[in-house]
Amino acid sequence: MTADEALAAAEHAVDLSGSDPARALALARTVLAALPASCREATGRIGPAGGPGGARDGGVSADGATKHDSEDGIPADGAPEWGPEDGSSAGDAPEHGAEGYIPVGDALGRDSGGGPDVGVIAGRVAGCGHCEAEAVAHRALAVAARELGDLPFAEERLRRAVRIALSAGLPHRAAQARLSLVHVRTELGHPEQALDVARDAEPGLTPAEVGKLGVHRAVALARLGRYREAVDHCDRAVPVLGGDVRFLAGAMLNRGLARVFLGEFGAAEADLSRCAELARDAGLEHVLALAEGNLPFLAARRGDLPAAFGAYRRAESVLVGYPERLATVRCDLAEALVGAHLPGEARVLLEMAVPELAAAGAGTALAEALLLLARVELRTGDPRRARESAELAARELAAQGRTVLAPVAEEIVLRARLALGPPSPELPAAMLSCADALDAAGHGDTSAALRFTAAEVSLGLGDRPSAEDQLALLARSGRGVVALQATALRRSLAGDRRGAFAAVLAGLAEVGAGTRTFEDPAVRAHAARAGEPLAGFGLALAMRTGRGRAVLAWAERWRAVTGGAGRPLAPGLAALRAALGESVLVEFVRHEGDLAAVVVARDRVTLRRLGPFQAVAEAIVRLRYGLRRTHLLDGSAPDPGAEAAELERLLFGSLRDRLGDRPLVVVPTGTLHTLPWPLLPMNADRPVTVAASAAAWLAGWRVPAVREGRRAAMPVVVAGPGLRYAEAEARMVGECHPGTERVAARRAEVMSALERADMVHLAAHGMFSPRSPLLSSIDLDDGPLMAYDLLRLRTPPALVVLSACDAGMAHAPADGAPLGLAGTFLSLGTRCVVASLVPVRDEETLTLMTAFHGALAAGDPPARALAVASGKTGVAGFVCFGCGDRPVANGPEEPVATNGR
């Protein structure tokens, strides 16, 4: 192969690296193998599968400043010169100790694999025509390796390409290699250095290549949070890129993602769409995948979580075989989910993404992912893991010199320490020092929250002067909810309970105003959690009064905020009593580790303290375990009856005199959302309804039996796949309710039926996702119907029967907002949901549902119909949620005119 042929082939390999990295690798290796031995450096080891190092072959690197960017659209040029991170000289070896990588050289320039040293190369380049091809071939290997997810190997090859080009007197080829190194260096965790390298590379580049460099600079700038500058660089690059479709598509991609961070969603969508169009027309499948892979991030940032999850599912299928890019897609969506206050869903994605980023050596993305993972681990109640992740993130950030994020990691470590054990006397000082660092780094809100925590810890340690100093500072700061929280605590310490209540109410009103715009119940609930400490303080003040009315009012105000009322309003007691009639409402609340109950009956309101909440939570776990073993027909299972009796004693032992045998409305808290209430012995044959709040039950009670514009509640029935008795159950529903419509078990048909029907029965397999309630689902013929799919409903049915295991399970991130399938229906306006909280065998479900629909058709309200059915059949586990105290209209009645919901 002549020098010209070798150079042409190497340049072709560079061109191929973006669209077909595997072919590019093979071609570049062929070029290097064909070079004369006298001028060829050791090429290092290429893995047997054609990928660098034989590892992660078929993957792709996380390319993207703003998220996922392509080499074509986002080359990478840049480490400071070609020297290692520690600032040593150009001849020093890069610090890649991973198996499969050969160090570039020792201090004398000698390759550890036995290749010639730099001095030898410099002495022979004058008469060699192949050195240019060699430098370009190494660059092609690097760009292809980066596309396949091997960033350390890519960096090593680019450093080698720079060294060869400079030794051969080829400054333009050295600048091109640096151009490609910018992105690699950024993704390895050194965006500031990448910008330095870009500056050094620019003088050796053509105008068009300077445009490409601008696209790469956008990657580094966005990683540093300088999104407007990233957009500006892409703006300047676009006019000079000409017909280079790969870089033009990359510019659209990077600019679009930077605009997402800036909140310019319309412009961002236009850029991403243009990127996809260019990539599709040019056959750049990987760039097209990146454009589509960023749609979940855009949708989530926009607040359209159903669209985000749908786009993520598509991206997941498109990016199979590209683990690092898929990992970055997951991180992006997780970041948006954290912004939407969905830490459980974010954690699921991050736990999949972090190992892939670590495997690829994507230092920048890995540090950010670890920091985000630590935050969601803390928010999801796992402080030990949060501390480990935050400490690892802190080490990564320190190594990268990213001081702006370092105090964020330290704040998580401090909060994890507090959650893991009693505070030490030194902890408040450490918190205040971290708060100062957070302020200096521009994280004012995080700093204020940490100062308040430090004040609380100081109070607990008996240091009231230090606590009052911080509280006064926060109260004067005017920093939103934290300032009002500090004001409330200061007033309480001064004995001004009325003033403390006023501050709490103002703070809850501010929280409610901030969450009113969220239609998604999960987003709303998690967003409201910023006010949870304030709500807890208000409840504590109410508990000190010893008055049931005060405790009910403050518990309901918080539930109103989390449930979407927008304001901290409590229902009128007179209206609640009138609606209850002969029924009794019991609202459970938690206070300082203890459980209490407020009993509302026609004659009076009573407050009772019930004892440690932990004992109740553990008893519920034992009961549920026994029920599951019973379902599996395991003779060794503990007796559920004994645990049910114990729970009845813990929960209602001191309340029985107030309940009698009257119908019961229960408002749970925390783990109580997972308790099958009808199983308690006292509830045999008693109608029981479980509601998110007293106000939610009252609102359901006021909903008409048939809503405006609809005929009577003729059921729609769906029989899902894989259930032995689903078809028999569907026929039974039709026999009990003449005129029942049968709908195919396909997502589109079921969603349409849910929009038009006032009563729907779904007989199918169910799955509850405790850490990600929006991922809970019902199995249909064409895949799962997810809880987040239901968020698209505008007119949900009044009554939904979920004849599926665990379909009634809920996770409540805050009181008043139980999340899951049943909770999603109720939050959208469904009046009543009947669903199981435990697995129930197919044949038993058919038996129960036959009795239930028989009683329903006879005119019984859902709660009474379920009690009758459970009593007749002995089948337990189903619960009536929402408001099950009103009859369901049947028969061909005329539409009922109402004022709407």
Tens-place pLDDT, residues 150-176: 888 899 999 999 999 999 999 999 999
pLDDT-based confidence at residue 511 (cuts at 50, 70, 90): confident
* Whole-angstrom distance, CA of residue 289 vs CA of residue 311: 11
Residue 801 pLDDT greater than 90, yes or no: yes
**Contact indicator for 700, 723 with CB cutoff of 8 Å:** no
Q: What is residue 236's predicted lDDT score, i.e. its pLDDT?
A: 93
Residue 725 pLDDT greater than 80, yes or no: yes
Residue 527 pLDDT greater than 90, yes or no: no
pTM of the model: 0.64
The average pLDDT across 328-350 equals: 81
The average pLDDT across 230-236 equals: 94
Q: What angle do CA 313, 824, 346 make, to 5 degrees?
A: 45
Residue 82 pLDDT greater than 70, yes or no: no
Q: What is residue 627's predicted lDDT score, i.e. its pLDDT?
A: 81
Task: Return the higher-pLDDT residue of 472 and 773.
Answer: 472
Q: What is residue 56's predicted lDDT score, i.e. its pLDDT?
A: 24
Question: What value does the mean pLDDT of the chain take?
Answer: 81
Residue 337 pLDDT greater than 60, yes or no: yes
Q: What is residue 242's predicted lDDT score, i.e. its pLDDT?
A: 80
Nearest to 849 by CA among 729, 739, 731, 734: 729
Q: What is residue 52's predicted lDDT score, i.e. its pLDDT?
A: 32
Task: Return the higher-pLDDT residue of 550 and 512.
Answer: 550
Q: What is residue 602's predicted lDDT score, i.e. its pLDDT?
A: 87
Q: What is residue 81's predicted lDDT score, i.e. its pLDDT?
A: 32
Residue 54 pLDDT greater than 50, yes or no: no
Most confident of 82-96, 159-173, 803-817: 159-173
**Contact indicator for 534, 508 with CB cutoff of 8 Å:** yes
Tens-place pLDDT, residues 629-662: 776 665 565 677 888 999 999 999 889 888 988 9
Residue 149 pLDDT greater than 90, yes or no: no
The average pLDDT across 361-374 equals: 88
- E strand or H helix that includes residue 614: helix 613-631
Q: What is residue 385's predicted lDDT score, i.e. its pLDDT?
A: 96
Phi and psi angles of residue 742, each rounded to the nearest 5 degrees, phi first? -95, 130
Q: What is residue 61's predicted lDDT score, i.e. its pLDDT?
A: 29
**Contact indicator for 72, 287 with CB cutoff of 8 Å:** yes
Residue 557 pLDDT greater than 90, yes or no: yes
pLDDT-based confidence at residue 306 (cuts at 50, 70, 90): low
The average pLDDT across 330-353 equals: 82
The average pLDDT across 379-397 equals: 93
Residue 516 pLDDT greater than 80, yes or no: no
- To the nearest whole percent, how much of the chain has pLDDT over 70? 84
Residue 753 pLDDT greater than 70, yes or no: yes
The average pLDDT across 126-142 equals: 81
**Contact indicator for 511, 534 with CB cutoff of 8 Å:** yes
- Write down the residue that tokens 């020093």 correspond to: 92
pLDDT-based confidence at residue 303 (cuts at 50, 70, 90): low
Residue 883 contacts by C-beta under 8 Å, 6 or more apart in sequence? 689, 691, 696, 697, 699, 700, 701, 703, 831, 832
Ordered DSSP codes for 75-95: ----SSTT--TT---TTSPP-
Q: What is residue 57's predicted lDDT score, i.e. its pLDDT?
A: 27
Q: What is residue 364's predicted lDDT score, i.e. its pLDDT?
A: 79
| Strand partners of residue 611 | 595
Task: Return the higher-pLDDT residue of 541 and 101.
Answer: 541
Q: What is residue 314's predicted lDDT score, i.e. its pLDDT?
A: 74
Residue 121 pLDDT greater than 50, yes or no: no
Identify residue 836 by its one-letter amino acid code: S
Q: What is the dihedral of CA 524, 525, 526, 528, to 10 degrees?
A: 80
Residue 97 pLDDT greater than 90, yes or no: no
CB burial of 512-547 (b: ≥16 within 10 Å; e: otherwise) equals bebbeebebbbbbbbbbbbbbbbbbbbbebbbeeee
Residue 368 pLDDT greater than 70, yes or no: yes
- Write down the residue that tokens 């009252």 correspond to: 698
Q: How far is CA 298 from CA 238, 273, 457, 772, in A?
A: 22, 12, 40, 20
**110-124, 564-578, 618-632: segment of lowest average pLDDT:** 110-124
Q: What is residue 892's predicted lDDT score, i.e. its pLDDT?
A: 38
The average pLDDT across 751-772 equals: 88
Residue 360: alpha-carbon gap to chain centroid: 22
The average pLDDT across 40-45 equals: 42
Q: How far is CA 303 from CA 277, 290, 804, in A?
A: 25, 21, 30
| Strand partners of residue 819 | 811
CB burial of 575-593 (b: ≥16 within 10 Å; e: otherwise) equals ebbebbeebbbbbbbbbee
* Whole-angstrom distance, CA of residue 610 vs CA of residue 596: 5
- To the nearest whole percent, how much of the chain has pLDDT over 90? 47
**130-139, 793-802, 883-892: segment of lowest average pLDDT:** 883-892
Tens-place pLDDT, residues 675-718: 999 999 999 989 999 999 999 999 988 876 555 555 555 689 99
pLDDT-based confidence at residue 848 (cuts at 50, 70, 90): very high
Q: What is residue 101's predicted lDDT score, i.e. its pLDDT?
A: 26
- Write down the residue that tokens 């590209």 correspond to: 322
The average pLDDT across 110-135 equals: 50
Q: What is residue 707's predicted lDDT score, i.e. its pLDDT?
A: 55
Residue 521 pLDDT greater than 80, yes or no: no
Tens-place pLDDT, residues 414-466: 999 999 989 999 999 999 999 999 988 878 888 998 999 999 999 999 999 99
Residue 448: alpha-carbon gap to chain centroid: 25
Ordered DSSP codes for 524-549: HHHHHGGGHHHHHHHHHHHHHHT-HH
Q: How far is CA 307 from CA 214, 295, 297, 344, 556, in A?
A: 32, 9, 10, 18, 32
Q: What is residue 418's predicted lDDT score, i.e. its pLDDT?
A: 94
**Contact indicator for 65, 163 with CB cutoff of 8 Å:** no
- In three-state form (DSSP H/G/I as H, E/B as E, the rest C), the secondary structure along 361-410 is CCHHHHHHHHHHHHHHHHHCCCHHHHHHHHHHHHHHHHHHCCCCCHHHHH
Task: Return the higher-pLDDT residue of 299 and 879.
Answer: 879
Tens-place pLDDT, residues 768-779: 887 677 778 999
The average pLDDT across 26-44 equals: 72
Residue 791 pLDDT greater than 60, yes or no: yes
